Amino acid sequence: MTITIALLLAAQASAPATPVQDVAAQTQEVAQTQENGGTDDEATGRTGPAPGGEVVVTARRRAESAQRVPIAISVVGGTALAETGTYNVNRLTQIQPTLQFYSTNPRNSAANIRGLGAPFGLTNDGIEQGVGIYVDQVYYSRIASATFDFTDTDRIEVLRGPQGTLYGKNTTAGAINIITRAPSFEPEARVELTGGNYSFFQGKASVSGPLVDDKVAIRLSTSVTTRRGTVYNVRQREWQNSQDNQSFRARILWQAAPNLDLTLAGDYNRQNPNCCVQYYARVGATQRNANRQYGALAAAQNYAVPSTNPFDRLTDIDVDVRAKQELGGLSLVGNWDLGGATITSVSAWRFWHWDPSNDRDFIGLPITSASNNPSQQSQISQELRIASNGDRSLDYVAGLFYFHQKIDTQGLQIQGPAASAFLLNPTSAGGRNPATLNNLTSRNTIGFTNTSAAAFGKLTWHPTDQLSISPGLRLNYDKKSGDYVSLVTNGTNTALTGDQSGVLSPQSYAPEFDNWNLSGDLTVAYDFSRDVHGYATYARSYKSGGINLSGLPLNAAGTAVDLSVQTVDPEKVNHLELGLKTQFADRRVTANLAVFYTGIDDYQATVNNGQLAVIRGYLANAGRVRTAGAELDTAFRPTERLNAYFNAAYTDAKYVRFRNAPCPPELSGGSIATAANPASAPGRIGSTASPSFSPVVCDISGQVLPGVSKWALSFGAEYDLPVRVGDVAGQVYLGYDGSYRSRFSSSPSPSIYTYVDGYSISNFRLGFKTERDFNVFAWVRNAFDENYFELLATQSGSTGLIVGQPGDPRTYGVTLSKSF
């Protein structure tokens, strides 16, 4: 923050006469006009302005028209977020087809764009995401720290494709840029209240106004969300997968001089839901012997799940679940106008504390009685930029960035009395004795530090009024270091037996990684006319390398950990994109098209550990992946009363080369294959007399990447009619928003058992709103009560049990908002 303070002192000493506005304040006026009925065409996912209007974005660190910026970008305004019930990143996927978000709990979350961003599976502290999350220009290093409810949000910009020059090396897939409402010198207040089934309640409120004439303004915002769970635990007699979120945000704007403004912001968020549970979805055959398949193991324990239909939403897990987290921070943003250029400083400190409780065997038997990884993270960041002002033949942005992060994690895994039967051969002495694995405990102490520094710049040259050429470079340095210590004890405090160490093995290692890399991009844009704009982009980008902090596999002899896989190489990205942005019919129709090809060498993928009960795999570099496709964003306003939109994404994402991948469930669980005993046919169920054999690794080259639907659509419309209620004039409106995703693989290695079927969701709303300050509407989401899974996973130990996380059932309610 010393840089920001230095800016203040220098500006006060010599302040030019021309006033300056914060970029967020500039775009606030446009967004406010849109929300008040003028040009809100970005609402409900529409991309593009209404007739005579422009949607202004800050995607390239300056205020620009969304239609003219040569980036594939979607913008969702604050009104659209409220009316579509999009109050977090997960719900944003329903109106943004190319965005994918998967989460088994806040820590184990991943945001992907065009199928890229983060490895599919449980989180590994030692690597970073490939989709950058920014809130008011502050970088959020963990997707978990961005699982808050949107509070007092002006707009969200979703930038697709590598953004490494201006947004950093870890935006190889894209960026989500969240902009909250700026403090106002005009007094104002907003209140929004929502109630619905499942005891849903959400309250949001904000107030803003001057503190010192036209010098200092403040904005205070708060949000509360609660909802009863949608899954009933028949054993614990309680609803699970609930919501319980509270947040508070404050921003103080100081117009320190006509050419200088400073914004001090702070936020605090607390979440403590009874969450998150996955449970029985189906059973598949593995290569285990018949008496070690899930059905036989459950029968031997006289156990049956409450229902084999997952959409009955019943579970009987025997461990309390908890997903408690606290997150927040402080930031100071300064903008100093020098006339020809503006200097911007962004100083920030953030924290994230995670306190979970999970049942990772997913059923009501005491197999894994605890699998928790409480974690505490803190980060500091400093960015300093200079950007040219005004229209000129040569525009530029240049800057420096520094980031430091520290994470401390305390892992705990405890096996229960049923673990012996499920994880060992039930016919062996160890497998017949519940005491063999009962109370086998692994306590893990994990430390991690991450330091990154960068210098970056981007030029835009306008050789003619229609043509612009924009090269960009970013030089980046990363250093990561960690330590992983796993202490394993048994229930008798004696030396570990072979059965016990085969399930949980003591480990201790201290990985380190450091690397320099250079990212670059080149965009050529051409304005064919006032309403037709084209661009072509090539980008060479990097996602930082990392270190494995979830335990390592044993060596071939099974005597020690394999230290050769303790680090992960950076991903190297080559990206090509062509885009065309058009408007016609007096700007009543907007149609934007982008086609892209992205190839990644050394793709960071999840690989299974051969140990039976290890919950988490480790990370390794796949040879090469690629994603290619096309995106169409359209908006229509045939009349002043009707708005409609249709967005489509076709994404073909595949492993080009991955020869040492983990094997899918149908090929796992058998004895190690040899030349004399080759791997069994997929899905064969073995027997004690004739054991099945599994390959050590599988070649999945040519198969699809996990989590990516080949087709994803969002579409909708809103129609309104003018009415008068007494002396109040307003509009009655009817809105519809729909989305569709085709089937996708829910496993790093595609499996016949873990494909999620395609599904569609329909949402309706009917309401009344006045021109500026009042809105009330009834809504129903997932109106046709579509049964679908958000993701599927496998139980540890290759038993064949597939567990799932169903999406929300039909919900309905009423929302009322009022501005003052």
- The pLDDT tens digits for 407-448 are 999 999 999 999 999 988 888 888 889 999 999 999 999 999
Q: Between residues 651 and 100, which one has the greater pLDDT? A: 651
What the block records as the tokens of 247 is 């947040």
Give, for 592, the enclosing helix (H) or strand (E): strand 589-607
Give me the chain's average pLDDT, please. 86
Instruction: Indicate if the alpha-carbon torsion angle 232, 237, 240, 246 is positive or negative.
Output: positive
* pLDDT value for 557: 58
Q: How confident is the model at residue 675 (pLDDT cuts 50, 70, 90)?
A: low
Cα 605 from chain centroid (whole Å) = 17
What the block records as the tokens of 302 is 């006289």
Average pLDDT on 756-767 reads: 96
Q: How large is the greatest C-alpha to C-alpha distance in the chain, in angstroms?
A: 90
* pLDDT value for 35: 36
Burial 57-66, CB ≥16 within 10 A → b, else e: bbbbbbbbeb
Residue 484 has pLDDT above 70, yes or no: yes
CA 646, CA 713: separation in Å to the nearest integer? 7
Question: Which CATH number is 2-819 given?
Answer: 2.40.170.20
Given strand 801-806, what is the order of strands in its sheet?
Answer: 279-283, 801-806, 789-794
What is each CA distance from 182 to 58, 117, 206, 220, 503, in whole angstroms? 14, 30, 11, 10, 54
Q: How confident is the model at residue 671 (pLDDT cuts 50, 70, 90)?
A: confident
Query: Quick one: DSSP state of residue 497?
Result: P
Residue type, 33: T
CA 617, CA 120: separation in Å to the nearest integer? 11
Residue 686 has pLDDT above 80, yes or no: no
Per DSSP, the three-state class of 181 is coil
Residue with tokens 């793709």: 603
Between strands 174-180 and 131-135, the pairing is parallel
CA 194, CA 764: separation in Å to the nearest integer? 15
Residue with tokens 């679908």: 788
Q: How confident is the model at residue 739 (pLDDT cuts 50, 70, 90)?
A: very high
Q: Between residues 109 and 146, which one has the greater pLDDT? A: 109
Q: Between residues 107 and 495, which one has the greater pLDDT? A: 495
pLDDT digits (tens, 9 = 90+) for 29-79: 333 333 333 333 333 333 333 333 467 777 777 777 888 888 999 888 888
Maximum average pLDDT range among 63-67, 101-105, 739-743: 739-743
Phi, psi of 500 (to 5 degrees): -70, -45
Give, for 432, the enclosing helix (H) or strand (E): helix 429-432
* pLDDT value for 121: 66
What the block records as the tokens of 573 is 């990205």
What the block records as the tokens of 4 is 């920001």
**Do 58 and 177 form a contact (C-beta atoms < 8 A)?**
yes
CA 164, CA 546: separation in Å to the nearest integer? 18
Residue 160 has pLDDT above 50, yes or no: yes
Over pLDDT 90: what percentage of the chain?
Answer: 61
Nearest partner of 538 among 582, 490, 573, 488, judged by Cα: 573
* pLDDT value for 52: 38
Q: How confident is the model at residue 9 (pLDDT cuts 50, 70, 90)?
A: very low
* pLDDT value for 661: 83
Q: Between residues 766 and 2, which one has the greater pLDDT? A: 766
Cα 234 from chain centroid (whole Å) = 32
* pLDDT value for 357: 93
CA 525, CA 226: separation in Å to the nearest integer? 47
Record the pTM.
Answer: 0.89
Q: How confident is the model at residue 270 (pLDDT cuts 50, 70, 90)?
A: very high
Q: How confident is the model at residue 509 (pLDDT cuts 50, 70, 90)?
A: very high
CA 736, CA 779: separation in Å to the nearest integer? 10
Cα 671 from chain centroid (whole Å) = 37
Q: Between residues 612 and 354, which one has the greater pLDDT? A: 354
Query: Quick one: DSSP state of residue 419?
Result: H
Over pLDDT 70: what percentage of the chain?
Answer: 88
Cα 475 from chain centroid (whole Å) = 26
pLDDT digits (tens, 9 = 90+) for 597-644: 999 999 988 765 544 444 445 677 888 999 999 999 999 999 999 999
* pLDDT value for 24: 32
* pLDDT value for 37: 34
Q: How confident is the model at residue 747 (pLDDT cuts 50, 70, 90)?
A: confident
* pLDDT value for 33: 36
Q: Between residues 785 and 724, which one has the greater pLDDT? A: 785
CA 407, CA 405: separation in Å to the nearest integer? 7
* pLDDT value for 48: 34
pLDDT digits (tens, 9 = 90+) for 790-817: 999 988 888 999 999 999 999 999 999 9
* pLDDT value for 538: 97
Residue 157 has pLDDT above 80, yes or no: yes
Q: How confident is the model at residue 239 (pLDDT cuts 50, 70, 90)?
A: very high
Instruction: Indicate if the alpha-carbon torsion angle 77, 78, 79, 83 is positive or negative.
Output: positive
* pLDDT value for 195: 97
What is the Cβ-side half-sphere exposure of residue 718, based on CA atoms within 13 angstroms? 26
**Do 491 and 500 form a contact (C-beta atoms < 8 A)?**
no
Q: How confident is the model at residue 304 (pLDDT cuts 50, 70, 90)?
A: very high
Burial 627-660, CB ≥16 within 10 A → b, else e: bbbebbbbbbbeeeeebbbbbbbbbebbbeebee
Q: How confident is the model at residue 673 (pLDDT cuts 50, 70, 90)?
A: low
**Do 258 and 15 form a contact (C-beta atoms < 8 A)?**
yes
* pLDDT value for 82: 84
What the block records as the tokens of 23 is 């970029």
What is each CA distance from 222 to 373, 765, 818, in whole angstroms? 29, 25, 15
Query: Quick one: DSSP state of residue 686?
Result: B
Q: What is the CA radius of gyration of the chain?
A: 27
Residue 389 has pLDDT above 80, yes or no: yes
**Do 415 and 503 form a contact (C-beta atoms < 8 A)?**
yes
**Do 583 and 589 form a contact (C-beta atoms < 8 A)?**
yes
Q: How confident is the model at residue 122 (pLDDT cuts 50, 70, 90)?
A: low
Q: How confident is the model at residue 16 (pLDDT cuts 50, 70, 90)?
A: very low
* pLDDT value for 476: 94
